Amino acid sequence: MGTEQILKEIREFPITTPAEIEEFRLSFLSKKGKVATLFAGMGKLPPEQRADFGKQANEVKQVAQQKFESARDAIEQGKSAFASVRDDISLQAPRQQLGSLHPLTQTLDEIKNVFFRLGFSIAFGPELEDDFHNFSALNFPPEHPARDMQDTFYVRKDDEDPRKDLLLRTHTSPVQIRKMLEQKPPVRSIMPGRVYRNEAVTAKSYFLFHQVEALYVDKNVTFAELKDTLIILAEMIFEKELKYRMRPSFFPFTEPSLEMDIWNPVKNQWLEILGAGMVHPNVLRSVNLDPEEYTGFALGMGIERIAKLRYEIGDIRTFYENDVRFLDQFV
């Protein structure tokens, strides 16, 4: 057998398992192997050809030796330099990268936990709403600026009859209306979900975001209970002794209304975290409840806003880009 032929066999010999390394060694490098046979044949050649042949045979031997050694080293290191690892059951499986909950989901989960402990259940409503649930039943006057196309994404806008309007809900408050129409008091629910506003995309605003609403309606629900709930909530989500304040505010669907701020000592400023108030008598009337008999409180907050404060995130857009370098920080 010529040197060219043996070289070809060496190159094509598959080594994927320890057993094949041994087969390779026996076939080429052992005392009776093909390389030794090459050298043995050298004596039969005419003397003038021996030097050339010897050089070629040495090359063959080196190629075989190298292939053998690198296969053996690879096995010893537990790595695979083999063409296929199919048969090597001793190899460790590659590690899978585990995902984690999105920071908005983590923040909502914590808010949910606070309310579950206070005896609230969870309720959902559609993202495509009508004028009644999103505005009218919530005591928005016909000329309220939120009803403007500039602020709200309309799917159907009827200039003659606003009752036929369809829109992407601008807040989670319409779920209050749905819940109260569906269930007699006592009602104690939170309502998380996506909301939409026709806003420019910047570091501070986006055309969609998430809110969570809480509604408690029963006989004799008081402002003191609202205040207490807000303090428990804020202290539980920010996990420390808090400095907070409540400012009088205005929402069409609550009276009186307030906004709550927490103090940020790093930035040396007050930061608004939520809006709240006592359910407006007109709202109770719109769902056929007698305001003389029932009272309630409602509160609503932006989940992005809370998450931005908790994790010190500067740009709201990072929540939606799904860049793993961002998400990895919240494992």
Residues lying near ligand PHE in the complex (CB under 6 A):
171, 173, 213, 251, 254, 275-277, 298-300
User: Smallest distance from the beta carbon of 258 to ligand PHE, in angstroms?
Assistant: 8
Neighbours of 9 (CB within 10 A): 15
Nearer to ligand PHE, 67 or 169 (CB): 169
Partner residues linked to 109 by β-bridges: none
CB 177 within 8 A of CB 280: no
Angstrom distance (rounded) from CA 152 to CA 174 = 14
Percentages helix, strand, coil for the chain (3-state, rounded to 5) are 45, 20, 35
CB 192 within 8 A of CB 122: yes
What residue number has its CB nearest to ligand PHE? 300
- Residue 293, C-beta contacts closer than 8 angstroms, at least 6 positions apart: 219
Nearer to ligand PHE, 18 or 256 (CB): 256
Nearer to ligand PHE, 38 or 233 (CB): 233
Angstrom distance (rounded) from CA 169 to CA 24 = 72
232-237 long-range CB contacts below 8 Å, 24 or more apart? 232/114, 232/118, 233/111, 233/114, 233/115, 234/260, 234/262, 234/273, 236/110, 236/113, 236/114, 237/107, 237/110, 237/111, 237/114, 237/306, 237/310
Angstrom distance (rounded) from CA 149 to CA 157 = 9
Nearer to ligand PHE, 35 or 276 (CB): 276
User: Smallest distance from the beta carbon of 149 to ligand PHE, in angstroms?
Assistant: 18
Nearer to ligand PHE, 6 or 283 (CB): 283
User: Smallest distance from the beta carbon of 244 to ligand PHE, in angstroms?
Assistant: 16
Angstrom distance (rounded) from CA 80 to CA 64 = 19
Nearer to ligand PHE, 82 or 251 (CB): 251
User: Considering only CA atoms, which of 58, 45, 63 is closest in space to residue 9?
Assistant: 63
User: Smallest distance from the beta carbon of 156 to ligand PHE, in angstroms?
Assistant: 22
Nearer to ligand PHE, 164 or 285 (CB): 285
Angstrom distance (rounded) from CA 164 to CA 54 = 97
Nearer to ligand PHE, 35 or 195 (CB): 195
